[in-house]
Structure 1
Amino acid sequence: MSLTVRPIKPADRAAWDGLYAAYAAFYGVEQTADMRDRVFGWLTENAHEVCGLCALEGDRLVGIAHYRVFARPLSAATGLFLDDLFVAPEARGSGAAGALIDAVRAVARDGGHGVVRWITAADNARARGLYDKIATQTGWVTYDLEV
């Protein structure tokens, strides 16, 4: 089956919702329908900083990627931050994750951004197998400060 990547559209709502809920469950993040409503609104409003792509096998949505621009003051440049990347378990190994990352890279290149950056869980071995082939792991440690 042919694999395509395109921007998320309002008509993708039901399929996206299922994938995004599965993504939250994968990482053990409690997420409500209201939270998904908010995020999908961001993805379909041109004025919001978060953008989204989806991967389709035929007409079935099998993967999602959400990204946004971030400033890199030290280098006086910008990059894209890949916030969320998820492929349905039954579509893993299809090339969907790589195709989504390639599409985000193309958006970055076309927008004049110097890097695509993301984080993943240390124990996300399957995804890291791909990431280690296509990107460079950094030495940076991430912290969260609750507000």
Structure 2
Amino acid sequence: MNENTIETIIRPVGADDETRWRALFAAYNAFYRASVPETAVATTWKRILDPQSDVKAVVAERDGEITGFANYLFHASTWSDRPNCYLEDLFVDPAARGGGAGRKLIEGVEAAARARNAFRFYWHTQEYNAPARSLYDTITPRSSFIVYRKAL
């Protein structure tokens, strides 16, 4: 099969995906120079698999290999009676970039947000993440909001 004819599929994460999801999540955190405690990683994984949780994940799969993931969650809004959908983490293996997986992951989360009748779908990235921003700019204009955050 020609490499160009292999399609990337987006699907909900499953219990069998834990090892690869963890490897990609670790690479994602390394990119952002972040250190996420194992307890938080384990809790996130547990939440993703819990059908009652508002934390969800999809993966990009190409030729049987998971090449990326998107973790997202739904939360209440003070501006609507419908939930917001926040895409918190998005990562594609550097070896698999350029094939459209990032866009497809965003579209997969957007489809989930529409299915839940979300009021808003949003995400953010670092200013220095030019490759991601060049993709995001083709999907929607960036907002004028500046994020302030304080670790507690």
After superposition, the CA RMSD in angstroms is 1.3
Q: TM-score, normalised by structure 1?
A: 0.94
Task: Give the distance between the partners of 1:91 and 1:138, measured in 2 at CA.
Answer: 28
| 2:31 pairs with 1:29 | no
Gaps of 5+ in 1: none
Task: Give the distance between the partners of 1:19 and 1:146, measured in 2 at CA.
Answer: 24
| 2:100 pairs with 1:125 | no
Task: Give the distance between the partners of 1:110 and 1:45, measured in 2 at CA.
Answer: 18
Gaps of 5+ in 2: 1-5
Q: Percent identity?
A: 31
Alignment of 1:1-147 (within 5 A): 1-147=6-152
Task: Give the distance between the partners of 2:40 and 2:79, measured in 1 at CA.
Answer: 33
More off after superposition, 57-66 vs 26-35: 26-35
CA deviation map 1:10-55 (0-9, x unaligned): 0001111100000000000013444322211111111222100000
CA deviation map 1:91-120 (0-9, x unaligned): 111100000100111111121113210010
Paired residues, number: 147
Q: TM-score, normalised by structure 2?
A: 0.91
Task: Give the distance between the partners of 2:98 and 2:143, measured in 1 at CA.
Answer: 25
SS in 1 for 2:150: coil
Equivalent residue letter for 1:66 = N
